[in-house]
Amino acid sequence: MYRLMLKDLRLHKRFVVGFGIAYVIYLAIFHSRANNPGAVSLFGAFLYAIIPLLIFTREDKFKAAAFNLSLPVTRKEFLQARYVLGWLVMLVLYAGTSLLTIAIPGTKLGLSAIFQVKLVLLVIFFMAVVFGLLMPLVVAFGFAGMIVFLVFCQVLGILFLFLANLFRPAISAAIRAIGEFLGPVQAGLGPAGSAATLVVVLLLFSYGSYRVCLFLFERKDV
Amino acid sequence: MMEYALEIKGLRKEYKGFTLKDVSFALPRGTIMGLVGPNGAGKTTVIKLILNLIRRQAGGITVFGEDVIAREKVIKSRIGFVLETPSFVEDAKLRDIAAAVAPLYERWDGTLFRSLISEFGLPLDKKFKKLSHGMKMKFSLALALAHEADLLVLDEPTSGLDPVFRRELLERLSGLIQDEGKAVLFSTHITSDLETTADYITFLHAGEVVFSLPKDEIHETWAVVKAGPELLNGKLRPLFRAIRETPHYIEALTSDIRTLKAALPAGAVIEKASIEDIMVFMDEGAAHV
Amino acid sequence: MKVIISNSSSDPIYKQITRQVKAQIISGDLAEGQVLPSIRRLAHDLQISVITTKRAYDELEKEGFINTVGGKGTYVAVQNPELLREKKMKIVEEKLAQAVDEAKLMGIGEDQIIHMLQLLFQEDE
Are C24 and C58 members of one domain?
yes
Are C85 and C56 members of one domain?
no
Question: C19 in a domain, yes or no?
Answer: yes
CB contact under 8 A, A221 and B54: yes
Instruction: For residue range B206-236, list pLDDT tens digits in order.
Output: 999 999 999 888 888 899 988 888 777 777 7
Long-range contacts of A202-208 (CB under 8 A, 24+ apart): A202/A124, A202/A125, A202/A128, A205/A128, A205/A129, A205/A132, A206/A83, A206/A128, A206/A131, A206/A132, A208/A132
Calculate mean pLDDT across residues B72-101: 88
- CA–CA separation, B142 and B122 (whole Å): 10
CA-based nearest distance B267→chain C, Å: 19
Identify all chain B residues contacting A13, using CB atoms and an 8 Å cutoff: 92, 96
Residue C18 CB partners (closer than 8 Å, separation 6+): C56, C59, C60
Identify all chain B residues contacting A4, using CB atoms and an 8 Å cutoff: 104
What is the count of structural domains for chain C?
A: 2
Question: C110 in a domain, yes or no?
Answer: yes
Are C50 and C28 members of one domain?
yes
Are C36 and C87 members of one domain?
no
- CA–CA separation, C52 and C10 (whole Å): 15
CA-nearest residue to B129 within chain A is A62
**What is the rounded end-to-end Cα distance, in angstroms, of chain C?**
30
Q: Please check the confidence at residue A110 and state whether its pLDDT lies above 70.
A: no
Residue A202 · residue A128 · CB < 8 Å: yes
Of B53, B83, B96, the CB nearest to A10: B96
pLDDT, residue B212, reads 95
Backbone torsions φ then ψ of B154, nearest 5 degrees: -125, 125
Are C21 and C72 members of one domain?
yes
Are C61 and C90 members of one domain?
no
Are C107 and C55 members of one domain?
no
Alpha helices in B77-196 (DSSP H): 94-101, 110-120, 133-145, 163-176
Instruction: For residue range C30-74, list pLDDT tens digits in order.
Output: 888 888 999 988 988 888 888 999 999 999 998 888 888 877 788
Q: Please check the confidence at residue B287 and state whether its pLDDT lies above 70.
A: no
CB contact under 8 A, A14 and B88: no
More confident residue, B264 or B71: B71
CA-based nearest distance B36→chain A, Å: 22
- CA–CA separation, C85 and C28 (whole Å): 12
Per cent of chain A over pLDDT 70 is 92
Alpha helices in chain C (DSSP H): 13-27, 39-46, 50-62, 81-106, 110-124
Identify all chain B residues contacting C11, using CB atoms and an 8 Å cutoff: none
Question: C49 in a domain, yes or no?
Answer: yes
Which of C76, C96, C113 marks a domain boundary? C76
Each domain of chain A, given as residue ranges in start order, spans 2-218
Question: C17 in a domain, yes or no?
Answer: yes
Which of C40, C57, C76 marks a domain boundary? C76
Q: Which domains does chain B have, with CATH numbers?
A: 4-214 (3.40.50.300), 222-287 (no CATH)
CA-based nearest distance B54→chain A, Å: 4
pLDDT, residue B118, reads 94
CA B192 to chain centre: 12
Owning domain of residue C85: 81-124
CA-based nearest distance C16→chain B, Å: 13
Beta-carbon pairs below 8 A across chains B and C: 44
Whether chain B has a CB inside 8 Å of the CB on A11: the answer is yes
**What is the rounded end-to-end Cα distance, in angstroms, of chain B?**
45
Question: C6 in a domain, yes or no?
Answer: no
B partners (3+ CB pairs within 8 A) are A, C
Burial of A30 (0-12, 13-18, 19+ CB in 10 A): middle
Whether chain B has a CB inside 8 Å of the CB on A184: the answer is no
Are C51 and C93 members of one domain?
no
CA-based nearest distance A78→chain B, Å: 11
The CA-based angle A123-A125-A127, given to 5 degrees, is: 70
CB contact under 8 A, B89 and A221: no
Instruction: For residue range A47-69, list pLDDT tens digits in order.
Output: 889 889 988 888 766 678 889 99
Question: C72 in a domain, yes or no?
Answer: yes
pLDDT, residue B19, reads 94
CB contact under 8 A, B177 and C50: yes
